[in-house]
């Protein structure tokens, strides 16, 4: 499955809002989990039928309904009807190639994010789409597979400490987004250490493997940038336009989230610049080494040109070469050759060619 752009031919000719699953099936059967809470209590459920979640839409408690698995469009359609989701939201949920964004639909807030993880075997960043719908008393989250970065959030809700259980859905949506962005910082720090550790290898013993490693890292940072920058732009608009579902006392946390997102985006740009510089240094070092080799070979070639001339003259088959029959011709010949070599080396040294 392509990472940068997934095939969308399945949607060709479909009407806008038609739910067509685009992506890879990552679970055998969707799983529905609910955390329903108030400041005084918390209850966790796992349902097999989405109709069992109908009561949470209008309950006085705050409900976090999480669905793992997006390939059953019928189930997602039932959820959309139950909670009154716009058809375009339904289409975006099952299309896992969506661009990260924040969109307002009346009093609800729709969010698309990429949850990222590092594959330890391939050393590639894998992405999973997270879709989130924030209503007045509920938050819906849609994930491609089981397993996420939200376990610390669940622990905070269970513990009942701090603001999490006392605040509304706007704060719950914030801490979920914050968990995703926090995970970005971990990935950036991990890749950044790899970038910085490779500087010594680049300067001391660069090889073709070094260049391959640099290109791999640049590709991963490009993928990170594609996953983060659009969300930062959407969050910026939310800061300026606001949203009726986000209280004023909670909006300050979204500003902090924007700062964190901005920081991660800046870090990605910084490391991409460092990698670009390292690639330039690699090519510069390679060119320098090649020039050194060519210079040495050129000097040897230049030295042997007059020697080859002398050897060619006195290696001819003419009988009447006066110097050939002189008693000391051979040592004189070597003396001339050595003198020529010494004089040329002296000239090269003086001109700082050696």
One pLDDT digit (tens) per residue for the chain, 354 residues = 555 556 555 555 565 667 777 777 788 888 999 999 999 999 998 888 888 888 888 788 999 999 998 888 888 888 888 888 888 888 888 888 888 999 888 778 999 999 998 887 787 888 899 999 998 889 999 998 888 889 999 999 998 888 888 888 999 999 999 999 999 998 998 888 888 877 777 777 777 788 888 888 898 899 899 888 889 888 888 888 888 888 888 889 999 999 999 999 999 999 999 998 888 888 888 887 888 888 888 888 888 888 888 888 877 776 777 777 777 888 888 888 889 888 888 888 887 777
Q: Does domain 12-284 fall into CATH 3.40.630.30?
A: no
b/e map 31-56, b = 16+ CB within 10 Å: bbbbbbbeeeebeeeeeeebeebeeb
Residue 261 DSSP SS3: helix
Question: Using CA atoms, how far apart are residues 193 and 333, in angstroms rounded to an integer?
Answer: 63
The two structure tokens encoding residue 219: 């590709």
Q: Where in the chain is the domain with CATH 3.30.460.20?
A: 12-284
Neighbours of 249 (CB within 10 A): 11
């Amino acid at each position: 499955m392509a990472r940068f752009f997934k095939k969308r031919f399945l949607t060709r000719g479909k009407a806008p809002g038609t739910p067509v699953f685009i992506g890879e099936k990552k679970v055998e059967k969707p799983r529905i989990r609910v955390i329903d809470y108030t400041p005084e209590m918390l209850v966790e459920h796992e349902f097999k039928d989405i109709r069992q979640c109908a009561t949470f839409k209008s309950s006085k408690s705050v409900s976090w309904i999480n669905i793992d698995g997006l390939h059953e469009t019928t189930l997602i359609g039932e959820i959309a009807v139950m909670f009154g989701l716009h058809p375009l939201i339904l289409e975006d949920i099952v299309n896992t190639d969506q661009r990260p964004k924040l969109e307002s639909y009346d009093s609800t807030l729709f969010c698309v994010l990429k949850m990222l993880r590092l594959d330890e075997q391939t050393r590639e960043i894998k992405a999973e789409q997270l879709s989130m719908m924030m209503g007045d008393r509920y938050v819906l989250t849609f994930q491609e597979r089981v397993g996420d970065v939200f376990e610390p959030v669940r622990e905070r809700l269970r513990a009942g400490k701090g603001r999490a259980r006392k605040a509304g859905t706007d704060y719950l949506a914030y801490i979920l987004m914050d968990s995703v962005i926090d995970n970005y910082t971990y990935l950036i720090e991990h890749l950044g250490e790899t970038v910085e550790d490779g500087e010594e290898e680049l300067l001391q013993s660069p090889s073709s493997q070094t260049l391959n490693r640099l290109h791999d890292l640049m590709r991963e940072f490009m993928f990170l940038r594609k996953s983060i920058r659009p969300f930062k732009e959407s969050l910026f608009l939310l800061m300026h336009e606001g949203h009726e579902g986000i209280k004023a006392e909670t909006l300050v946390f979204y500003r902090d989230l924007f700062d964190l997102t901005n920081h991660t985006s800046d870090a990605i740009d910084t490391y991409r610049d460092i990698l670009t510089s390292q690639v330039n240094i690699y090519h510069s070092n390679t060119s320098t080494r090649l020039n050194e080799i060519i210079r040495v070979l050129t000097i040897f070639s230049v030295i042997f040109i007059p020697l080859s001339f002398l050897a060619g003259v006195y290696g001819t088959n003419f009988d009447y070469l006066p110097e050939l029959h002189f008693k000391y011709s051979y040592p004189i010949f070597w003396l001339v050759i050595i003198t020529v070599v010494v004089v040329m080396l002296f000239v090269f040294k003086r001109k700082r060619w050696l």
